Amino acid sequence: MATVEITNDNFEDTVSENDIVILDFWASWCGPCRSFGPVFESASERHEDVVFGKVDTEAQQELAAAFGVRSIPMVVLMRGGVPLFGQPGMLPPAAIDDLLKQAREVDMEEVRAEYDKHMAEQAGDESPQS
């Protein structure tokens, strides 16, 4: 499967309709991003059950901000709509393969419970104080 462009408009549908989504946050002016592009594209061809999405940080600043992107390239892996991994820098092909292997083995019921608990705690922290 080839990589797909991820935008604010298609992000939610992409993540909710696919079990595993791996995102490459990049920009055209970024040399390391251009070097990593073919590695990411090649991995997409080896893992046809995974959506490999490219997020142009210049065009999709809101999405990049939502993920706290401060350095590019940055790789984020989501499974079942939950972010499991995020790291700036280029990953070698073997690391991408290993990351996806680990993601497939994760007990998502346990992760979902922890994620929901964390999100509820964050929402409580942001509530107005009396």
106 inside domain: yes
Is 20 inside any structural domain?
A: yes
Residue 63 domain-assigned? Answer: yes
* Local confidence band at 48 (pLDDT 50, 70, 90 cut-offs): very high
Provide the domain limits for residue 106. 4-125
> Residue 97 falls within a domain, yes or no?
yes
**Catalytic residue selected from 4, 7, 18, 30:** 30
CATH number at residue 48: 3.40.30.10
Selecting among 20, 21, 33, 103, the annotated active-site residue is 33
Residues in Cβ contact with 2 at an 8 Å cutoff, skipping those fewer than 6 apart: 41, 44, 45, 52
pLDDT in tens, 30-44: 999 999 999 999 999
Task: Tell me what pLDDT residue 115 has.
Answer: 83
9-24 pLDDT, tens digit each: 999 999 999 999 999 9
To the query of whether residue 30 is one of the catalytic residues in this protein, the response is yes
Known catalytic membership, residue 85: no
CA distance 20 to 104: 8
**Distance (Å, rounded) from C-alpha 54 to C-alpha 11?**
11
Q: Residue 35 and residue 105: Cα distance in Å, rounded?
A: 29
Q: Is residue 34 part of a domain?
A: yes
Q: Count of domains in the chain? A: 1
Residue 15 included in any domain: yes
The DSSP call for residue 73 is S
Q: Kindly tell me if the per-residue pLDDT of 130 is higher than 50.
A: no
Rounded to two decimals, the pTM is 0.86
pLDDT tens for residues 54-87?
A: 999 999 999 999 999 999 999 999 999 889 999 9
In a domain, 50, yes or no: yes
Tell me whether residue 130 is in a domain.
Answer: no
